Amino acid sequence: MKNLQILLNNLMRCVIIYVINIKDMSVAMKKVLVGLSGGVDSAAAAMLLIRAGYEVHGVTLNLCGSGDVADAAAAADFLGIPHTVLDGRKRFSGTVIKDFITQYQRGRTPNPCVVCNEKIKFGLMLDYALQNGFDYIATGHYARVSSEGGRYFLQKGKSSRKDQSYFLYRLTEEKLKHILFPLGEYEKEEVRAAARDAGIPAAHLADSQDICFISSNHAAYLKNAGVASDAGDFIDKSGAVLGRHNGIINYTVGQRKGLGTAFGKRLFVLGIDPAGNTVTLGEEDELYQSSCTAGDLNFINTMEENPISAEVKIRYNGAAAKAKITLLENEKALVEFERPQRAVTPGQSAVFYSGGRVLGGGIIK
């Protein structure tokens, strides 16, 4: 109970500051729609908001017919809050899954969580909330929203290990006005301990690590979805044939294991060419790049500088690297790293930070 009390006291202080400085209204008047996934984080987020005085309703997005709906309903019942299930399967299939398949066909390695957050969790769910009289939506993401002078900003979560701001860079300032991240100030261990002390049923569940709609591996999923991927040539950077691959959907930049051929030395995937149906291999030092191009840009707040000095993450679990970002035409940017980066992977996101603030980002070309 001590951990829970610490969490609740800290949250109450944050809520009081937020209300005085931003809204100047009682939180008891505010309705929040909390996305319940069935896991410990979303349940803990709902619990904290209830204790803070919000009127909390739970919602679960049925995206691929998983058992999460039953777990979420059990969490809502335990918390004593209304619970709604939204059928988002059609939209999920037409956006997240469609993009996932298309990107692999193009020789890229997509991040479906980024698309899901933009189109589903902070798209479909937020639209539903605003249409049904809710003031905010909330999720169990480890990130923060700050405000200054009437502007809203996305910040990293306090936990450097658990921070999930990378997946949220496609949010907009207008959306941030209606978003709460109750767990952003805490470490995962604190949240789990508080949930356990409160008796939340999901407190013992392990974190989900996989893509929610894939039960095996991505290549098997794509094949079952009818994606054709013929065998072709492994080549080196000069174009010399090194062997045969068994379909481009089985590979990603930086991959070494699972190539299926013995080359007599350690080789890594350097690039994938769907037009020529080739996979380029090379040694590890050839994986490093001093620059890349990012497209389909999104900046959370208006950017007046060009070029921009920032720190850039090219994968969720990677360290941010100092870089210069030059905005180009057609929603593209040239990212020039201070030091070459390993395995810059087309399809992944390059996310731009300034200290703890998320500026935005784009898809690596």
* Distance between CA atoms of residues 267 and 249, nearest Å: 18
**Catalytic status, residue 64:** no
* Distance between CA atoms of residues 351 and 312, nearest Å: 5
**Catalytic status, residue 116:** yes
Place of tokens 């291999």: 281
* Distance between CA atoms of residues 306 and 359, nearest Å: 13
Q: Which of 14, 64, 113, 116 is catalytic?
A: 116
Record the tokens describing residue 65, joined without a space. Answer: 């017919």
Q: Which of 14, 64, 212, 292 is catalytic?
A: 212
How many other CB atoms are there within 10 angstroms of residue 127's CB atom?
11
Give 258's DSSP letter. Answer: T
* Distance between CA atoms of residues 30 and 133, nearest Å: 10
* Distance between CA atoms of residues 255 and 345, nearest Å: 10
Any residues with CB less than 8 A from the CB of 343 and at least 6 apart, and which? 253, 254, 268, 287
* Distance between CA atoms of residues 81 and 73, nearest Å: 10
* Distance between CA atoms of residues 213 and 332, nearest Å: 30
Which positions are catalytic? 116, 212
